[in-house]
Structure 1
Amino acid sequence: MLGSLARWWRGSPDPAAGTGEDVLQPDAPGPMIWMQIGPEAASAGLDGALQVLTRLHRVRPEMRVILALPPGLEPILPEGVELVPPPDESIGVARDALDRVKPGLVVLFGNELPGTLITGADRENIPVMMVDVCLPPPLRRLGRIGQRGLLRRIGRIVVRDQASFGLLERQGLDPAQIDVGGALGLPPEPLRCSEAERASMAALTHTRPVWLAASVPQAELAAVLAAQAHAQHHAHRMLLILAPDQPDDALELGDRLTDEGWTVASRSLEGEPDAETEIFLADDPAEYGLWYRVAPVTYMGGTLIGAAGHARSPFEPASLGSAVVHGPQTAPYADDYVRLDEARAARSIHDETSLGEAIADLMSPDRAAVLAHNAWAVTSGGAAAAEAIVRAILREFDAARAERTS
């Protein structure tokens, strides 16, 4: 349901408001920000925006925020936030809305440039800033964000990554007005496991190099086995924990691998690998939290040729300290892989030869640790990004207020 400010703005009285004292008025005391989220940004989810709003309320509880969202979206909002529809595509309507509300700052969330709102704010002498701007891979096309006339009216832009910073700089924007804030998002909930099982498995494998091939489809099995054989030339006691994309195929797969000369054990039969096991079949999808903790390196199955029926998110191993190796076929988690790659938090490979080389190379604890550390920073960095955006918002708001009162 629309809040009281929305009813006031539309000019419709709130029958429950009595005399109207509970309805926010344009001259109501306290600082106010107008935040607008366009359809493109809203379609990607509101978690990041809500993270910023929650942090903003915690830092400055007296701040009121008018949140303009596309129709049909009614999220649970933090205290002090009123939901309204965005103004019509008319400069006059936008100016009238801003004149009524008199916000101290307009904050645009995402890449979209609402021309009427920006122009209206400019004519009302209200500063405008953009946050959570990310020019999409792989081409980093400008799209609507390339409207230079509107961009010149933006006082501050907070981008997600260095690539977006560079592209805006090449468009002629002053680097001093662009901040790199990082990517928003709540840290993923780490997959759980039994601590007793983890300790037991760690004790069995602590003297052996171990890697995990997660959710491997049949079409990639030959590449994974070739990578294991290659890596064994560098570490002959190498243990591969192999989690097939179709767990029901594990028993048949075990027989096949045994016939091919591999020493095989499985979770469902033997329960644990012994000192001679070369391939351990992890055939229970509920135990990925255990395998990510045991294996310092994880290859994300299906990313080499795109055949996984049950693709796993790379943030699963990344959040648990396992270095991520992946091929070029990253759907449906392409954005997550881009974030990891840009942060040098994953190793990209392109064929079975490079997979084997990557696994052998990452058996060096130092190299795997660098990837794991960078990945942890990515998966836990959403809170830092929210903090950076809130700081930028308050800096712009306070500077504008000081200028108005000077």
Structure 2
Amino acid sequence: MISLLRHRLSEGVRALGLRQRRRTADPVQADVLSQQLGESCSLRPEGPLLWVHLGPGADVAAVALLLTRLDEARGDLAVLVTLDAYPAPAEFAAALTQQLPADVTEAVEGFLSHWRPDVCLWIGEGWAPVLLTEASGRGVECIAADARMSEAHMRGRRWKAALARAELAPFRHILTGTRDDAARLTALGGDGARVETVGWLESSVAALPCNEAEWTGLSETLDARPVWLAADVPMAEIPAVIAAHRFASRLSHRLLLILVPADVATGPALRAQLESQGLRTMLRSADEEPEPDTQVYVADSVGEMGLWYRLAPVTYLGHTLDGGNGRSPMEPAALGSVVVHGPDTGAHGAVVERLHRAGGHMPVADATELGRAIERLLAPDKVADLAHRAWAELTSGAEAADRALELVGAALDRADALP
């Protein structure tokens, strides 16, 4: 009990500080502070409302995808996203967003009375026992997803048993990523019947579409030729890509490079440049298809990346040798194309780290290594192994997302059935 009382006292002091700061804050900051005190300047929409909180450790992209799936399944559902940070990520532009209120009775009651949520999905850590207990007491069904409890946090909470129980008690279901986390959560009061190990919510991407007739026709035209793709390649990287292709072609003279320039308008000029270097080149925008002796196929079209990923078992991601922000590694990996990339992964570092963890990619340091990597990946068994590892890693969040959606849907159905 002492630990819970200490938490209430600490949050009370915090709320007092928020009120004092609000007196001298500019209008934008004053609004943020008011939200943290449980006030809101937004109206509650009519109809059912799902309250989603993003705590520490939540994968923003994964949550955004989860909300997209919810919107597709329940178009009448309003979503309120609460956060500890300001401003809200751009991924939640279509949702209502608000700062999480301080965990004190006055702020909690103001927040819950205004929003009247039907269901709460709490993602990540940072549980607020006063808020969650009050919400549960008002009939809000609470579900925890991506609940984490490291060994270090476990040690820190053993002497805070009352606080830990208060944090976990309001949740009807607690979803976590590993058996170790599940054991620690159970030991702290989340009984085994409520705790489920379903993996972590992690970002993924839907497979890019393609024209099936085009895919069938080009597959027949290529006639099982070895193919690799260089996607979204800036002009500065063209020499490295061509050098890599020449290197790998020593072992496979039928090897075809599908080259997608970063600027598709450069397609005709790029074709002329490559032909001047003695490379037999065809151009997509000229309605040409690869012939048996074609070495490079310049795919200067828009909206066909799904087609190229399906045709090429190996994809080099442009902008990763010379810098810039290229395409997501998830795109080729979702379609079974092995990702090859340079050291500069831009905004996609987290995805690359997941691929590295799974051993499902081929990193290269420079143009020389790129050629060697393409040569190594001419072996079908090597490609199949890497592609499977990448696919398994990048779809690992599917079970967690599916279970969270199932529980939220059932909770909303129960809320709808209430008088």
Q: Where on the TM-score scale, by shorter chain, does this alignment land: which range?
A: 0.5 to 0.7
Aligned equivalent of 2:362: 347
Pick one of 82, 87, 92 that aligns with 1:69.
82
Aligned equivalent of 2:315: 298
Identity of aligned residues (%): 32
1-side partners of 2:111 and 2:284: how far apart?
63
2-side partners of 1:355 and 1:349: how far apart?
6
Pick one of 131, 138, 152 that aligns with 2:145.
131
Against the structure 1 CA distance between its residues 51 and 336, is the aligned structure 2 distance closer, same or farther, given a 3 Å change threshold? same
Aligned equivalent of 1:4: none
Secondary structure at 1:306's aligned position in 2? coil
Contact residue 98 and residue 120 of structure 1 kept, 8 A: no
Aligned equivalent of 2:271: 254
Gaps (5+ residues) in structure 1? 1-8, 15-21, 25-32, 58-64, 77-82, 395-406
Against the structure 1 CA distance between its residues 249 and 53, is the aligned structure 2 distance closer, same or farther, given a 3 Å change threshold? closer
Against the structure 1 CA distance between its residues 280 and 147, is the aligned structure 2 distance closer, same or farther, given a 3 Å change threshold? farther
Against the structure 1 CA distance between its residues 356 and 390, is the aligned structure 2 distance closer, same or farther, given a 3 Å change threshold? same
Secondary structure at 1:333's aligned position in 2? helix
2-side partners of 1:266 and 1:317: how far apart?
22
Contact residue 230 and residue 317 of structure 2 kept, 8 A: yes
1-side partners of 2:401 and 2:269: how far apart?
49
**Between Structure 1 and Structure 2, how many residues are aligned?**
347
Q: Is 1:220 equivalent to 2:233 in the alignment? A: no
2-side partners of 1:272 and 1:120: how far apart?
65
Aligned equivalent of 2:294: 277
Gaps (5+ residues) in structure 2? 1-37, 410-419
Q: Is 1:239 equivalent to 2:256 in the alignment? A: yes
Note the 1:298-317 alignment, pairs <5 A.
298-307=315-324, 311-317=326-332
Paired amino acid for 1:307: G
Deviation at 1:35, TM superposition (A): 5.7
Contact residue 205 and residue 331 of structure 2 kept, 8 A: no
Contact residue 55 and residue 122 of structure 2 kept, 8 A: no
Against the structure 1 CA distance between its residues 279 and 388, is the aligned structure 2 distance closer, same or farther, given a 3 Å change threshold? same
Pick one of 101, 118, 122 that aligns with 1:108.
122
2-side partners of 1:275 and 1:134: how far apart?
55
1-side partners of 2:79 and 2:216: how far apart?
51
> What do the CA deviations read for 1:14-33 (whole angstroms, capped 9, x no partner)?
9xxxxxxx999xxxxxxxx9
Against the structure 1 CA distance between its residues 229 and 34, is the aligned structure 2 distance closer, same or farther, given a 3 Å change threshold? closer
Aligned equivalent of 2:101: 88
Q: Is 1:37 equivalent to 2:37 in the alignment? A: no
Deviation at 1:228, TM superposition (A): 1.1
Secondary structure at 2:224's aligned position in 1? coil
Against the structure 1 CA distance between its residues 293 and 96, is the aligned structure 2 distance closer, same or farther, given a 3 Å change threshold? closer
Contact residue 283 and residue 298 of structure 2 kept, 8 A: yes
Deviation at 1:187, TM superposition (A): 4.8
Deviation at 1:127, TM superposition (A): 11
Deviation at 1:39, TM superposition (A): 7.4
Against the structure 1 CA distance between its residues 184 and 85, is the aligned structure 2 distance closer, same or farther, given a 3 Å change threshold? same
Larger helix fraction of residues:
2
Task: Give the aligned CA root-mean-square deviation in angstroms.
Answer: 5.2
> What do the CA deviations read for 1:130-184 (whole angstroms, capped 9, x no partner)?
423689xxxx9x9x99975676855886456x7xx889999xx98x978451335
Contact residue 94 and residue 116 of structure 1 kept, 8 A: no
TM-score by length of 1: 0.64
Paired amino acid for 2:201: A
2-side partners of 1:167 and 1:357: how far apart?
41
Aligned equivalent of 2:27: none
Secondary structure at 1:215's aligned position in 2? strand
Query: Which has the larger displacement, 112-121 or 198-207?
Result: 112-121
